[in-house]
Structure formats: structure tokens, C-alpha cells
Amino acid sequence: MDMDAIPANVTRFGLSTIVNSLLKAGNDEWESQPFDFVIDGELVRLPLEQFVLAEGISAEKVLEIEYIRAVAPQKEDEPSLHDDWVSAVDGSCPRFIFTGCYDSFGRVWKAAGECTHILEGHRDAITSVTIVSPEGADSVTVATASKDQSLRLWKFDTEEHLDQPAKIRAYKVLRGHNASVQSVAAHASGNMICSGSWDCTINLWRTNLSDTEGDLVSIKKRKVKNNVEESQMEGEALSTLVGHTQCVSAVHWPEHSTIYSASWDHSVRRWDVETGKDLSNIFCGKALNCLHVGGEGSALIAAGGSDPILRIWDPRKPGTSAPIYQFSSHNSWISACKWHAKSLFHLLSASYDGKVMLWDLRTAWPLAIIDSHEDKVLGADWWKGDSVISGGVDSKLCISSGISVQ
Amino acid sequence: MGASKKESVEVDKKEEEKKNRKKTQRTKKEKLSTEESLLHLKQEDTATDYKVFSEDDASEDYKSVEKSEAGDSESSGDEGFHNTGSNEGLANEGQSEDSEPDQGGEESDSSEDEVAPRNTVGDVPLEWYRDEKHIGYDIAGKKLKKKERQDKLDSFLANVDNSKNWRKIYDEYNDEDVELTKEETKLIRRMLKGKAPHGDFDLYAPYVDWFKWEDSKHPLSNAPEPKSRFIPSKWEAKKVLGLVRAIRKGLIKFDKPKEEPRFYMLWGDDASSSEKTGHLSYIPAPKPNLPGHEESYNPSLEYIPTQEEINSYQLMDEEDRPKFIPKRFMSLRSIPAYENVVKDSFERCLDLYLCPRVRKKRINIDPESLKPKLPGRKDLKPYPATCYLEYKGHKGAVMSISTETSGHWIASGSSDGTVRLWEVETCRCIKVWEFGEVVQYVAWNPLPELPILAVSVGQDVFLLNTGLGNEETQRKVKELLHVATSTVLDDSGNKVSAWSWLQDDKHEGIRLRHFKTVYSVEWHRKGDYFSTLSKKFTQRHPFKLHGLPVSAVFHPTRSIFFVSTKKNVRVYDLLKQKLIKKLENGLRDNVIVGSRDGKLCWFDMDLSSKPYKVLKCHPKDITNVAFHRSYPLFASCSDDCTAYVFHGMVYSDLNQNPLIVPLEILRGHASSNGRGVLDCKFHPRQPWLFTAGADSLIKLYCH
């Protein structure tokens, strides 16, 4: 950009107006929008003068300022109301949103307010949901974990056009936990899922319909109202990872053979699926509620728990278990954190203070605060790469879209 | 040796004298020195003995010796002995002739001696023999007769006649008269004059320095060093020993007597001197303030108050009113007399003698150093500090809370007559039971596989099925709750019991009806037994109690049961069913007891029944206390709307006292009807604290 000099006391807003006016000069149809500015891999959040001082950059140096679109939601969709608290959301499939609710039903939403499927079958509140095979052509497999100590696998066709939400029953019930199941995560291939529970264990399950492996226990014939007979399989855990001493509150299965888990026993563990041993153990000091692995090299572990600090560890760093980033703008427990699928820097966090915050690793302040919930937010996720979905105690599923994350 | 030599010399001289006496015609050149002559007088007898021998066989030899001696004396003249002889040779010639009869007398004396030795009484006072007829004894022991005394007149006449009478001396010892020779008188005369007894002895002879000073490089004596120089002195050692003994006995004292200062401060105007005296020290009265500008007779205008200000003074309290209002006078002459003179001086006098003046001793102690050294709060993390979660839903004061063993659920009983079941993590109220009466106490069964809740409501205790867990546990619980009713009814049906078991269909549980209000329910750690406390007595333990029981707790691991009454805490052994201990006032084995006066007592069961530590921190009643199961924490909550969290570390080393550090004051509850926090319970696995407030809230404080 052919600019000679800008005043030192210019702020982010000033820089933004300069860039907007320049773009407008090049393109008449340009609509001005907020920008963020990156100097030396650091987002500008102060007047330039102070920023330079704070960063210790020589005043003689010519600063290269990179501008990117500000990451902030442009649009708030009308919240989709549930019958009870929304305990979990999953937006890993761009075609729909999958939510779990305390009324023991899972719901599939095509868009805001458009519920296409209702998953019935759990006898207690759903605590965690995951989409097992998002890429499936017509039918999609999803998994839910519930306080009734079981997990259920469901299959439905997303392309069905229905006036009324279709009611679906699970095709497989996974029993084996001795306490309420707190978290569930799916393997990328969609063949396996893992679940963490209050009985301190992590169980691995198969998702396949076929019972060649012999994990089929029984097929129950049930009579539903209209005398349609449905088959329901029961599955047993393939293997159990034992090591945590308290409730396993979050699991994540990003790679083929590695499972990450976070627990109330203050530790984050990395498990080798093949051997069933934990490879590494990061001690946090707080009871943890959520965990997600992503970011640079898909290796950074973000976790939040029973305090308002979102911590990010780099397990590749040898010899230290100190978090490399700590974001502490929340006021209460953190209930969810998710990395953006594409970006190396962006992640979101949801907290019991009713806020969802968007973070960039390059700055210590949140990029945006989505304050659409009136009570605790229990789950949040990215959707379609440019939206944030969140569900909470106010029984709402909120969708904030128009977030431009490069 | 020396003595014998002298003897021999004397012998020589005696013999010489003998020769002198015998051969008077020969010129006598040799004379005796005075001493020797005196000696001679005494030892004449021995000399004569020698003479007797010598005369017989060696007289001629003696002559030759004498000759040679004379020759020597003439030639050398060195020795005074011979000198005198030579000098007085002429004078002696006549004398010797005169003294011939005397010598004969002497000879007779000596002959007498030869026959009868002289007096041998020795040196005794002679008056002992004055009245005796003898003067003593001779050598053979025979008495020596006194001589016949001459008539005094005769003797006087004889003396007058005798020209030599003046030389005679009476020798009382031997009872005889001795006549002095000329030499002897001479000698006496010289001595009387104070001269040297010998005339030719030169007192002032020139000193001959025989020592050769030149080239004498070596010590005078070449003798080897005597041994005495190398061995410690015996006498010194004895002296030192004596001194040491004297010191030990205290005869020698080392501290010197204090010196009285010759000069002292007459006016004693420094503080230390007055203190030293030890009397009541004089404390000077505080000086009155010096007058300022405003008290000048002609102060600057800014000091003079306006009329409004003066009026405002009247409205002020008398204490605050300024004592003096500045005024302006044109000259000193126009100043009136000060009207308050008498009053002021009177007040000053009152101040001086009525206000006790005390000298304050300032102690220079750093208050920080008085504090016990405690580890910092940061080192004792984790402990509950911040409230993040609130459990809302109750309509009345939350009387009691209880946590499930896994820490997933809590139950709470409230004065609005409901028991609620909450999910800890999300604050969701899972279940509500309505009782319509104040719920006093809730308690979870400690067994995780039996999710049963015991609730005391009024006169009843309900055992409730929480409905948690899978079908199997539900079935078990239902079975248990049903079967229990019938069996126990059978057991206690024939007794007149204070309670009765009833099936409660409304709440799907068991109802135990007591005759009196039930205050508290407590489960045994195995979940098989529970205790209830009612107004009159407790059941399930046939112990006699004095005073009304307030609270009862089972020991977490041992079969011990604690009951606190209004006066003290009693400890019972459940196996033997007897009282073990009584803790006054109010785990190794530590028990904490909160009392109604806001004191928190820490008892060490192994030590004594007196509290190890009393923490008085709550200004109001302590409503409940709690230990954490795994973390070294304990907490107390009080009606002053606070809960205190303490670090209570007990060491396995018995010598080390438990460490108690106050960590945090948890505020946040609001007071309602004068009650604050009614219950506190630790999360069973996390360092979190639940507090139940009278403001119908339950709060969770996290680390």
C-alpha cells in the first residue's frame, strides 16, 4: 500500500477509516466495514503510539500493518426455542445444527427456527452431542450422550422435506457406563466414538450398523403406538480407558489414534487408542469442563473449566505444562471452547456468565462478545465457518452469522 | 672443713701462747686478734689438752713451725694478724713481763680445768644459783662450790691497794675474778670510740677490683643450668593453690566495690536519672500553648471573625466552640482586663492536679514479629475463594444441604417445605419434593449405589428415593425402601418405641414418625445406619445424654459417634456402646466444634478434652462446621453471613502440631431474619464449598 505516513496517535478505528477510504477510492461500490490490523503477528488493540511502546518496537522502524476483516458477527438470527435447557450444540455439518436438550430430546435444525428432526429415546437429559459422519451423502449419523448412563446413535436423512419435525428413534443404544455420560466425541472416519462419564472412564464404541464384530447384544423389538416394529441394537464398549479419577467432562478425538480428555480431576490427558495408555498428562489445577484441540498444527489444546480463564497449551513444547495462552475475560465457569476449523488463530469460548467470546491468539482481548443469552451458555460451536451457534439455560439456540474468519 | 681448719689454726695459736708463757724471755712477736683471744678464753681447756699432747711428742716441730711463721710474717706482712704482732711488738714486751703472775694464775686455772672442768650449767639465769652453795656442776656432774666471799671491807681495801684493780672483772658464771690484759682494754676502748676493734684495720682501704673486665665474653660460671630452673616451683604452686582455695571459699573477692559518684546531677533534668532514683518520678505538666497571632491585642484582619461567624459559634456545641474570639484594640491601654483569668487559671489548676499524668513506656517491638509465622495463602491453594455458581429456586431459607458422594448432585432442604435436588455443574434443579413443613435436615446416603436421601421434616424422617442411577439401582432402591418398612415394623412392633416406620406413598419412601421434632439426620459411613436427633433423645444409640442434643456426627472411618449437646460433645464407641470421651465446651482424630458464641474449637482426640485451638472469628453464632474429606480444609459458617475457610493440616509426625491457617472469608449471602449462612458443606472431591443461606440461595465457592 502506497502510504507514506500516518499519525502515531491513530487508533484501530482511525486505521480502519483510512483503509476504508482508500478502498472506496479504488472501488466506488465499497461499503465501509471494520478492519483489524496486525503488526508483527500481533493485533492492534491500542493507539499505535502505545502499541509500539508496549511491543518495544523501535520508533525508527517502518511498520508494516496488515489489515484483515474484523471478526465480529454481523447478524443475529432469531433464537430457536427449545422446551428445556440446551445442553449441547454441534455445528460440524454445514447442512444442519444438532442440539441436545435437557428434555431428553435431540433436535436437528436446518436453520434458525427450522427444526427438521427430533430424536426421541433417552430417559434423561442429553449432556453431549456429536455428529459422527458429517460427510455422509444422504443419511447422517449422530451420537448423543445422556444422564441416563447411555449413549444413543441415530441416523436420519437431512434432505427430507417435512412440514412437521420427524421423530426418530435411535438405531443403537450404547450401555456400559455406570454413571451419567458427560461427553461424547467421534472419530473422523465415523466408525468409532468415545465417551467420557462420571464413572471416571472413557469408553470407545463402534458405530457401525452391522454386527459382524459380535458387539451386538440384543435386538429389542418394540411396539410403538402405530404398531410399527423397530429394531434397536445394544452395543457394548469396545474398550475402556481408565486413568482419570473424577468425572471425564470432555473428550476429543482429532486424530486416528489419539484421544484427548479433560476431567474434573484437574488434568488433561492424551490417550493412545491402540494401547489404551495415557501418553501425556497436563495438570491444570482446576476442574475442567471443556476441551478442544486445534489451531496451529492441530495440536494446541484449549480447555476451560471451573474458573473464568480459557487456557491453551502447546503439548509439543517440551518440559513445561504451563499454558502458552490464558484468556481471562469471562466472569464465570467456561462451558465450551471450540477452535475454528480453518483458521489457525481463532477460537470461541462460552461461559456461565451468558457470553460467547471470539478469540484470536494474537491478542489478549476478545475479538467479539456475543451476549445474546440471558443465562448460562452450556454449549457453543462454529457453524459453516462463519457463524457461531450457542445454546444455554434460557432454552435458546442462538445463531450469530456473518463472521469473516480467513 | 672450714671449721676444722680454724681449729687447727687456733691450736697453733694456743701453742704459741704456751710458748709465750713458758719462754717469756723470748720476744713475742705474735699477737692474737681480739676475737681469737676471747675464743681462747673460752676454749682454753681444749687448747691445753692439745698442748698436753703436743708438748710431749712434737714440741720441737712446733718451734720450727713457729719460726717459719715468724719468717713468713716478716717477709710478706700481708695478713693483719701478723702485722699487729709486728706493730705492737715493743709495747707487748713490758706487758708480758707484768702479766706473768696472772699467767701463772691462769695457768693454775687451766690446771684447775685440767683437774676439774669448769661450770657446765650452760646458758641459764645465774640467779637460780644465787642462794645455793654451788655455782653449778663440772663436766663430771660434781657441784662446784662457791668461793668463800671476802669481807667487803677487806676486799675494798685490797682493791684500793692494788693498782691493777680496775682491770679486774668478776665472772659470775665461774665465780672468779678475771683481769683484763692491756690489749683487751685497748680493744674495749676502741670499740667504745666506735672505731674498728683492730687499730690497724683500715675501713677505707682502696677497693681492688679483682675481676678482669676486658675480653671476658663468657659467663662467669660455666656450670650447667641447675635443675631447679626447669621444674615448676613447688612454692609457687603452693601459693597459687592457697589463692585458689581462698577464692573458692570466697575470702578473695574480685568485684570491686562500687564507686560512689562524687558528683551528681543536682537538678536531675535528664529522664534517666530520675528513673534511677526509684522514687515516684516527677512528670512535668504539659505546657500551655503559646499565644498565636490571633491572641494579639491588634491581630491582622483575617484573624478577626465576622459577626456571622460569631453568631454561628453560638449554635455550635460548647465543646467545639472556640475558646477565644480575637478582638482588635487600638492601643495596649484600651485592653480591658481579661474576664476569664480566674476561670482559666482555676481550670489549669484542675488540669494539673486532677488529670493523672502517666509516663507511657513505649515498647519497641515490631508488631509483625509477634505474629506467628504462617505459610502464605498462595502456598496453600487450592481452597474455595470465589463464588461462581448459585442455585436458585428455594422460596425460603435453605436449612441444610448435603452432597452426593461423587459430587455430582447436592440436595437441599428449605424452610419453604421443599427438598430440592440439584446438579452441581449446571445448577439445574432436578427434582423437588414438597413436604409442607420446614425441612430441618437432609443427608445423602454415603453409598454411591444407593442414592437415598434422608430428610427430617417436623416429627418425621423421610427416606427418599432420588430416582438417580440406572434401572438396576432404581430397582434395588425401591426394593430396599419397601422391604425395610415391613421388617423393621416387625422388629419394633412389640416395643413401645419412640418412632414408627411407615410407608410413604406420596414420596415413594419410608416415613419414620417420632414423637418430637427431629433436628438432624446423619448417616453412618457405610450407609447401613443413620442417626436421628429429636428434641428429647436420639435413637439408634441407647446412650444417655445430659442436656439437649444439638448435632450428631459419625466418624468418617472409625466406629465412633459424636453427639454434641448444648454443653459438651460426647464421643461414643459404637461397637462397645459406651462413652469414650467428653469434649468440653461445647481427627489423627480432630474434631471441630462450632459453638453458639462464635467460637470455633479444634479438638485433637489424642491429646485432651480441651480444645487445641479456639478460633474466635465469627461475631455471631456459628451454624455449621465442615471438614473436607481429602483436602486439608475445614470451614465454618455463621449467622453473620460469612463462611470462613481454614487450612487445617495434620501431620503424621506426632510431634508436629496441626497447622491451622485462616484462608478466606466467603461473603455473598444476605441476612434474612437475623440469620445468615445456615449450612456449609464441602464438595466431596473438589476444593469447593457449598453454603446455604437464609436468603434462599445456595452458593458454590470454587478455588
Band of the pLDDT at A216, cuts 50, 70, 90?
very low
CA distance B319 to B340: 17
- The region of weakest confidence among A144-153, B256-265, B293-302 is B256-265
pLDDT digits (tens, 9 = 90+) for A35-81: 888 887 778 877 888 888 887 777 777 778 888 888 777 788 888 88
Residue B243 has pLDDT above 90, yes or no: yes
Q: Does residue B387 sit within a domain?
A: yes
Model pTM?
Answer: 0.61
* Integer angstrom CA distances of residue A43 from A19, A71, A405: 16, 12, 14
Q: Specify whether A40 is located in the same domain as A131.
A: no
Q: Which of A4-13, B551-560, B638-647 has the lowest mean pLDDT?
A: B551-560
Assigned domain for B408 exists: yes
We report the CATH number of the domain holding residue B599 as 2.130.10.10
In a domain, A4, yes or no: no
Distance CA(B554)–CA(B575), nearest Å, equals 13
Tell me the per-residue pLDDT of A346-385, one tens digit each, with 9 for 90 and over. Answer: 889 999 888 888 888 888 888 888 888 888 888 899 888 8
Domain presence at residue B547: yes
Give residues with Cβ within 8 angstroms of B402, minimum separation 6: B410, B411, B412, B442, B443, B444, B453, B681
Q: Is A235 within the bounds of a domain?
A: yes
- Give the domain range for residue B382: 377-702
How far is the alpha carbon of B365 from chain A, nearest alpha carbon, in Å? 40
pLDDT recorded at residue B270: 56
* Region B530-555 average pLDDT: 51
pLDDT of residue B271: 54
For the segment A226-252, the average pLDDT, to the nearest whole number, is 75
Instruction: Out of B407, B408, B702, name the one closest to residue A307 (CB).
Output: B702
Residue B54: pLDDT above 80? no
Mean pLDDT to the nearest integer, A267-293 = 86
> A298's torsion region: left (phi>0), alpha (psi -120 to 50) or beta?
left
Number of domains in chain A: 2
**Cβ(A265)–Cβ(A309) below 8 Å:** no
| Contact residues, chain A to chain B, C-beta under 8 Å | 85, 87, 102, 125, 148-149, 178-180, 198, 246-247, 249, 264-265, 285-287, 289, 306-308, 332-333, 352, 376, 378, 393
Q: Coil, strand or helix: which one is B560?
A: strand
Kindly identify which residue of chain A lies nearest to residue B424, measuring between CA atoms.
A306
Q: Which helix (H) or strand (E) holds A325?
A: strand A325-327
Distance from CA of A282 to the nearest CA of B (A): 17
CA-CA distances (angstroms) from residue B592 to B521, B650, B651? 19, 13, 17
Q: Do residues A349 and A253 both lie within one domain?
A: yes
Q: What is the span of the domain harbouring residue A153?
A: 75-401
Judged by CB atoms closer than 8 Å, whether chains meet at B388 and A352 is answered as yes
Average pLDDT over residues A257-277: 87
Distance between B470 CA and the closest CA of chain A, angstroms: 6
B478 falls within a domain: yes
Are both A18 and A81 inside the same structural domain?
no
In this predicted structure, what is the pLDDT of residue B575? 54
Mutation target vs A (from B378, B428, B682, B700; most A CBs, 10 A cutoff): B428
Mark yes or no for CB contact A307/B685 under 8 Å.
Answer: no
Least confident of A308-312, B59-63, B531-535, B693-697: B59-63
Q: Are residues A122 and A211 in the same domain?
A: yes
Q: Which B residues 398-417 touch A at CB under 8 Å?
A: 406-408
Distances (CA, A) of B397 to A147, A258, B413, B434: 29, 49, 9, 15
pLDDT of residue B249: 92
Whether A291 has a pLDDT exceeding 70, the answer reads yes
Beta carbons within 8 Å of B310's beta carbon, 6+ residues apart:
B325
- Domain boundary pick from A69, A84, A102: A69
**Would you say residue B572 has pLDDT above 70?**
no
More confident of the two residues B613 and B580: B613
A372, part of any domain: yes
E runs forming strands in B53-167 = 134-137, 143-145
Q: Which residues of B fall within a CB distance of 8 Å from A264?
A: 407, 685-686
**Pick from B66, B99, B132: which residue ends a domain?**
B99
- Helix, strand, coil shares of chain A, percent, nearest 5, are 5, 45, 50
pLDDT at B529: 60
Q: What is the mean pLDDT of chain B?
A: 71
User: Residue B342's pLDDT is what?
Assistant: 93
| Dihedral angle, C-alpha A22, A27, A29, A33, nearest 10 ° | -30
Distance CA B137, CA B142 (A): 5
Residues A50, A150 share a domain: no
Both A120 and A228 in a single domain? yes
- Chain A contact present for B388, CB below 8 A: yes
Chain A residues inside the 8 Å CB shell of B386: 307
- Answer yes or no: is pLDDT of B351 > 80: yes
pLDDT at B49 over 50: no
Query: Best residue in B378, B406, B422, B450 to probe A by mutation, most A CBs within 10 Å?
Result: B406
Verify that A49 and A124 share a domain, yes or no: no
What's the rounded mean pLDDT across residues B548-557? 57
- Give me the pLDDT at residue A187, please: 85
Pairing of strands A126-131, A139-146: antiparallel
Highest mean pLDDT among A130-144, A157-171, A294-308, B74-88: A294-308
For residue B101, pLDDT over 60 is answered with no
Question: Mean per-residue pLDDT for A119-147?
Answer: 82
- Same-domain check for residues A166 and A56: no
Is A227 in the same domain as A278?
Answer: yes
Higher pLDDT among residues B654 and B195, named by residue: B195
Q: Is residue B448 part of a domain?
A: yes
Q: Are A117 and A183 in contact (CB under 8 A)?
A: no
Residue B650 in this model has a pLDDT that exceeds 60: yes
- Is pLDDT above 60 for A277? yes
Which residues of chain B neighbour A290 with C-beta distances below 8 Å? none
Domain boundary among A26, A53, A69: A69
Residue corresponding to grid cell 577464692 = B247
Residues A339, A371, single domain; the answer is yes
**Given A24, A41, A69, which residue is the final one in a domain?**
A69
Say if residues A259 and A194 touch (Cβ distance below 8 Å).
Answer: yes
Confidence tier at B5 by pLDDT (50, 70, 90): very low
Give the pLDDT of residue B554. Answer: 60
Contact residues, chain A, for B702 at CB < 8 Å: 286-287, 306-307, 333
Q: Chain A: nearest CA to B408, how far in angstroms?
A: 8
Burial code (b: 16+ CB inside 10 Å, e: under 16) for B419-435 equals bbbbbbbbbbbbeebeb
Instruction: Give all strands (DSSP E) within A96-180, no chain letters.
Output: 97-101, 106-111, 114-120, 126-131, 139-146, 150-157, 166-169, 172-175
B428 touching A, CB under 8 A? yes
- Domain's final residue, options B80, B99, B118: B99
Whether B330 shows a pLDDT value over 50: the answer reads yes
Query: Residue B79: is its pLDDT beyond 50?
Result: no
Predicted confidence (pLDDT) per residue in B617-642, tens digit: 777 777 888 888 888 888 888 888 88
**B382-412 pLDDT, tens digit each:** 888 888 888 888 888 888 888 888 888 888 8
Q: What percent of chain A has pLDDT over 90?
A: 1
* Rounded mean pLDDT, A306-334: 86
Q: Are B465 and B478 in contact (CB under 8 A)?
A: yes
* Same domain (yes/no): A146, A17: no
Determine how β-strand A139-146 pairs with β-strand A86-90: unpaired
User: What ipTM was assigned to the predicted interfaces of this complex?
Assistant: 0.84
Classify the C-alpha dihedral B27-B29-B35-B40 as positive or negative: negative
Give helix B34-42 / helix B44-57 axis angle, nearest 10°.
90
Q: Out of B99, B114, B139, pick the residue that ends a domain.
A: B99
Mean pLDDT computed over B3-18: 45
**Mean pLDDT (whole number) for B576-589:** 49
Residues B116-138 pLDDT 10s: 457 888 888 888 888 888 888 88
CB < 8 Å to A286, chain B = 702-703
Chain B residue with CA closest to A150: the answer is B470
**B280: pLDDT confidence band, cut at 50, 70 and 90?**
low
Q: Hey, is B262 helix, strand or coil? A: coil
pLDDT-derived band of residue B235, with 50, 70 and 90 as boundaries? very high
| Residue with more model confidence, A315 or B495 | A315
Q: Cβ–Cβ of B703/A286 closer than 8 Å?
A: yes
Peptide bond into B382 cis (omega under 30): yes
Q: Which three cell numbers stand for residue A67?
A: 489489515
Does the residue A5 lie in any domain? no
- A300 within domain boundaries: yes
Q: Name the band, by pLDDT with cuts 50, 70 and 90, for residue B590.
A: low
In chain B, the number of structural domains is 2
Give, in order, the Cα–Cα distances in Å from B100 to each of B32, B50, B52, B105, B186: 17, 22, 20, 9, 19
